[in-house]
A and B are shown apart, each in its own frame.
Chain A
Amino acid sequence: MTAERDADIAAEDIPAEHMSAETAQMTETERAAHFAEVAEVVAPDRDISVEFGDTLLEMRDVTMRFGGLVALDGVSFGIRRGEILGLIGPNGAGKTTCFNTMTGVYRPSAGQVLLEGNRLGRRKRYQITRLGIARTFQNIRLFGEMTALENVVVGADARHKTSVPGALLRLPRHHREEREVVERASALLEFVGIADRAAEKARNLPYGYQRRLEIARALATEPKLLCLDEPAAGFNPVEKNELMQLIRRIRDDGYTVLLIEHDMRLVMGVTDRIVVLEFGKKIAEGTPAEIRDDPAVIAAYLGVPDDGVA
């Protein structure tokens, strides 16, 4: 199950001013070793019943209706373990709805979502997160009054059990879990490159940091599938490049990623496969090269010339 992970962060990936106080003082070799360690802590450490390359999550004929509006119409596709799958489509195509049915925000009107071959069914949202689907939000939704580190710890808490009696009486499990979550959350902040502002309230962080913090918080739940909803929205080209590197690094660390994104260069550059939605229907699925040349996709994005309609 330990697939090749060469996610060791190259030192040039994270500018020195974004490193943690401790790391900034290290020598090059120490730093490389430290980042290898960080990647190790961040890597998912849980059993996944499907092999790399097999279908991890399956959308089976999922239909989602809101009153008379059909937002998703019999959509089927699979996400393979270890890949980066892009989900694209024009505005209103149903991409976010698709996300929401996977993460339990909506229950499909018809069809099923299966994780590792098991139906998600009527499970509650927090249970789905524990099962292994985590997401970020298109419009950033951090816990504003918490520090960056605390935000990530909330995510890490998802896999823990301490409740009121344990915390009240400071039972051993509480201590063990506190140690674990802080270690994991610190590593995650370093991994996404925002450790230098770990102690700041989330709502005082710059925009780019907030976007990365959302990713760190979702990763903290140790998801089998990480869903990113337009993570590059509002980014300039340089930031987009950095984000592409980060997404690749996440995959190389052993995660499976589903990416909704509008920016074609980013989608084409980072994904292994792409699914295209239009008006709630899947119109294409394939490698970036196939999608780029698919006439249906070109038509969806650019419109069909008048003489082509006839």
Chain B
Amino acid sequence: MTSTDNTRKNTPGGIRARWNNLSRPQQWLALVPVVVLIYFIPVIDPPLLTTEPYTNFPIAMVHAAELAMVAIGLNVVVGQAGLLDLGYVGFFAVGAYVAALLTSKESMLHKLPYLATLPLAMVVTMLAGVLLGLPTLRLRGDYLAIVTLGFGEIVRLLATLVPALNGQVGFADVGHPPGTNADGSLIFSARDGTPWYWLVVTLIIILLLFVGNLERSRVGRAWVAIREDEDAAQIMGVPTFKFKLWAFAIGAAIGGLSGALVAGQTGFMNNQNFSVAFSVLYLAAVILGGSGNKVGVMVGAFIVSYIPDRFTNLSDRKYLIFGLFLVVLMIFRPQGLLGARQRLLARGRQAYQRLVGRGEQISSDSSVSAEGGGQA
């Protein structure tokens, strides 16, 4: 078991070590072609990767990107701060309804330009996050999970019961960013995924920069300390409640942003999009890719979104295959595809260089969840 473990770890470890030895500007430079490739994937429509003829490939890619954004938000809550949130879809729904209510012709509210609803959706969901967090973040672990599960259900039921939210009828003609092509057709339409994809990917990059800033700061350290041992964190001077609330608020805001984007991209929003199953799916993306690893959760989101789109011809059995894949992965890599990993110091490189003569962390193999099974 150990020998296979080692060989398996060698390859990613090698790449990782080489990556870590690059200086910061070199890393940025190396990322440029990757980002360019990511931007042009829907245009290239690579033969093996394509989801056609079953699903329009750019649309499949938008779905993947949207889920990646959700995963980044959920990762702040679950991966970084270690708060198990089973009602994340609730925040997503709040964001989606903010966008739908303020842009759809079928809503009675005053209309705003779609792009203005994006920051607004973030603010409103952030408030929702704080409201949910204030009374519940005193709870821990399973208890918090149950309460958040309830929150997700409350939002879904409100969408059904409050007349102004139009229940199953929902809202058609949700707004979209402005602009028309040369031939007069809309740039951002429900049929063409590519412009939406570019918008979402751009927003993801901005979010990653901000979330990275938080990670490599007192805030990120406080989150990981809370995840690792909340009592010890408190005694080491971390105001745990405050930082848990921040994690909730930031996670909620990102969830709300993705909700508003999805509402705009599909152009339609009703109460059917927010069942518990979605919360679980989001969580699956995070756990699958590697809770606590930003790149990991995006990979996880891509897989969770892509596989059903790719294998639509298997129709009913696609979830069976998907489920089996998850089970197998969790048996062999409980920490997810890429294990938890974070840099928590803005000036760690120089310090490590001085202390251990090497710019980086030594051990990156381990994970949070592997502790039980992995070490036995």
A residues bordering B, Cβ < 8 Å?
20-22, 103-105, 124-126, 129-130, 134-135, 137, 141-147, 149-150, 153-155, 157-160, 162-164, 166-170, 174-175, 177-179, 181-182, 185-186, 189-190, 195-201, 203-204, 217-218, 221
Contact = CB atoms under 8 A, between A and B. Distances in A.
Given A126-B237, A149-B355, A175 B346 contact: yes
A221 B236 contact: yes
B158 to A, nearest CB: 29
Contact of A199 (B238, B242, B361, B366): B361
A130 B238 CA distance: 9
Contact of A197 (B240, B246, B356): B356
Given A126-B237, A198-B355, A145 B368 contact: yes
B210 interface: yes
B347 interface: yes
B160 to A, nearest CB: 34
B228 A143 contact: yes
Nearest to B341: A145
B204 interface: no
Q: Across chains A and B, which 9 residue pairs bring their CB atoms closest together, nearest first?
A: A158-B237, A21-B357, A167-B217, A129-B237, A143-B228, A198-B355, A141-B232, A20-B355, A178-B346
B352 interface: yes
Contacts of A218: 236
Contact of B363 (A169, A186, A201, A217): A201
B176 interface: no
B214 A164 contact: yes
B222 interface: yes
B351 interface: yes
B318 to A, nearest CB: 35
Nearest to B350: A182
B346 A174 contact: yes
Given A126-B240, A198-B356, 7 more contacts: A141-B231, A146-B224, A157-B222, A157-B237, A168-B213, A201-B361, A217-B236
A42 to B, nearest CB: 15
B221 A158 contact: no
B235 A179 contact: no
